[in-house]
Amino acid sequence: MAIPFLGALLLAMALLKQLMLYDRLVSLCHALFPLFGGILIAFLLQPVIDRLAVHMKLKTAVVFVYVGILGAMALLLVVFVPILYQQIVDVASLLPEWIEKLKSILYEHHIVLEQFIEDENSFMKDGTVMILSSLRSFLDTAMDYGIAYMTAFFISIDLEFWKRSARRLFHNYHWFGNFYKTMSNIVFQYLSGTLLDLVFVSVTSGVILYAADFPNALLYALILALSNLFPYIGPTIGLVFVILVAVLSYDTVPLITLFLIWVMQQIEANIVQPMIFHKTMDVRPILTFAALFVGEALFGIVGVILSPILASIMQIAFRSYVHARSRDTIGQWEDIWYDFDDVMKEEAKGLHT
């Protein structure tokens, strides 16, 4: 069903390029980013607001959530950002030493160094350009994020108006209401569970690394936690990265520390995550790739880091839609997986028979 839509989209993009309108459309989308970003932020925060609104007035809950997030961000900026900045600077100062050590390792194994030296010069040059470009990009988009956040606040504070408008515009508003409430409920559970999972990985790995006097432990604990978001290969990439840092930083590799990090990852994947979510997300790989491209286009490097969360929300939205189409009740976490898997099994049986 999606193939005709995707084909029409590609054809429209090719036609716009031929008519020299594609760049103007991209500029228009960039100008509208604060509006679309505000809608997305309001959607992600609304489940939290809904739960607080049970105990207080809606507008009070909106103010509490938005001001609370600003306070948390300010706390992070004051407490953690200076530490992370110093650790990033320390890692940057160690890069020349690491490159020389890597050269000696390659030389010992009789690996040709000419290409490595060329890649080293290119890496150092491109790395500097990339850092400067990232700083400029951050300054350019900081205002857009601020406007998007304010837009989200006004959308949330005036939510009753949007609900009344939806009731008048859509005859099947009840179905949309069930769909939204189901998705809102599941997204809230997913985001809160993901936050707990990130805290568990970052705290446990940070304690292990600090106990072993691992250099810049906070930075590497954060990298391990963020890489853990990516399904299938994320934890492996994070562990390989820490192993590489250990090889380049120590004369004797701390095998016990690396083994404890691996044990922590196994505990998180097989015990903690199922305990938090009650059922593994099992996000489809195609959704992960789609979210990666969309996140990078909309939010840059932040979008790339958070693309697994976007992919999970896309899957939650689709399964909530399936539930709302087949049931007249608000779905829970287990419902949207049970309903969808049931339909797939029935269709598979029908094909076999």
> Is the C-alpha dihedral spanning 205, 208, 211, 215 positive or negative?
negative
Please check the confidence at residue 121 and state whether its pLDDT lies above 70: no
Q: Supply the pLDDT for residue 204.
A: 92
C-alpha to C-alpha distances, 195 to 149, 198, 309, nearest whole angstrom:
20, 5, 11
Closest by CA to 36, choosing from 121, 155, 164, is 155
Q: How far apart are CA 201 and CA 222, in angstroms?
A: 8
Q: How far apart are CA 209 and CA 222, in angstroms?
A: 11
Please check the confidence at residue 137 and state whether its pLDDT lies above 70: no
Residue 278 · residue 272 · CB < 8 Å:
no
DSSP string, 23-72: HHHHHHHHHTHHHHHHHHHHHHHHHHHHHHHTTS-HHHHHHHHHHHHHHH
Closest by CA to 273, choosing from 336, 225, 307, is 225
Instruction: Note the residue count of the chain.
Output: 353
Q: Residue 122: pLDDT band by 50, 70, 90 thresholds?
A: low
Q: Residue 64: pLDDT band by 50, 70, 90 thresholds?
A: very high
Neighbours of 69 (CB within 10 A): 14
Mean pLDDT of 299-305: 69
Q: Residue 67: pLDDT band by 50, 70, 90 thresholds?
A: very high
Q: Which residues of 185-201 are buried (b: 16+ CB within 10 A; e: fewer)?
A: bbbbbbbebbeebeebb
How much of the chain exceeds pLDDT 70, in percent? 78
Q: Supply the pLDDT for residue 215.
A: 82
Task: Tell me the pLDDT of the chain averaged across its residues.
Answer: 77
Residues 181-212 pLDDT 10s:
788 878 888 888 888 888 899 999 989 988 88
Mean pLDDT of 112-126: 54
Its pTM stands at 0.70
Q: Which tops the pLDDT comparison, 344 or 351? A: 344
Residue 199 · residue 222 · CB < 8 Å:
no
